[in-house]
Amino acid sequence: MTGSADVALRAGVSRSTVSQILNGRAHLFSEETVARVRETAAAMGYRPSLAGRTLVRGKSDIVITLIPDITFGPTVREFVDLLTEGLAKEGLTNLLRLSSSEDSLQDAVLGLRPHSIVTMAPLRPEDIERLEKQGIYVIGQSQAFQAAADMAIGRLQAEHLLGQDYKRIAVVRPRSKREQYSAPEREKGVLEYGGLHAMEVLPTLEIGLTSDEALKAVRSLPAGRVGLACYNDEVALAILGAALREGVSIPAEMGIIGVDNSVIARASTPTITSISMDLELNVRELVSHVVSGQELRLPPEATDEYARGFTVIQGGTTRQ
CB 170 within 8 A of CB 203: yes
Model-wide pTM > 0.85: no
What is the enclosing helix (H) or strand (E) of 205?
strand 205-207
Structural domains of the chain ordered from first start: 4-57 (1.10.260.40), 62-140 (3.40.50.2300), 146-277+309-313 (3.40.50.2300)
Among 114-128, 164-178, 280-294, top mean pLDDT goes to: 164-178
**pLDDT 10s digits, 2-16:** 777 888 888 898 888
Q: Residues 26-44: what's their mean pLDDT?
A: 86
Examine the pLDDT at 136 and tell me if it is beyond 90. Answer: no
Among 116-120, 250-254, 259-263, top mean pLDDT goes to: 250-254
pLDDT score recorded for residue 122: 67
Examine the pLDDT at 159 and tell me if it is beyond 60. Answer: yes
Mean pLDDT lowest for which of 54-63, 170-179, 191-200, 210-219?
Answer: 54-63
Number of H helices, E strands in the chain: 14, 11
Q: Residues 209-219: what's their mean pLDDT?
A: 94
pLDDT confidence band for 52 (50 / 70 / 90)? low
Helix pair angle (143-163, 183-196), 10° resolution: 50
Examine the pLDDT at 269 and tell me if it is beyond 80. Answer: yes
pLDDT confidence band for 300 (50 / 70 / 90)? low
Mean pLDDT lowest for which of 13-17, 185-189, 284-288?
Answer: 284-288
CB neighbours (10 Å) of residue 70? 19
pLDDT score recorded for residue 119: 80
Cα 314 off chain centre by: 23
What are the residues facing 227 on neighbouring strands? 169, 255
**pLDDT 10s digits, 72-130:** 677 778 888 888 888 887 778 888 877 654 455 655 566 677 878 888 776 777 777 77
Q: Residues 268-274: what's their mean pLDDT?
A: 95
Percent of the chain with pLDDT over 90: 36
Instruction: Tell me which of 274 and 80 has the higher pLDDT.
Output: 274
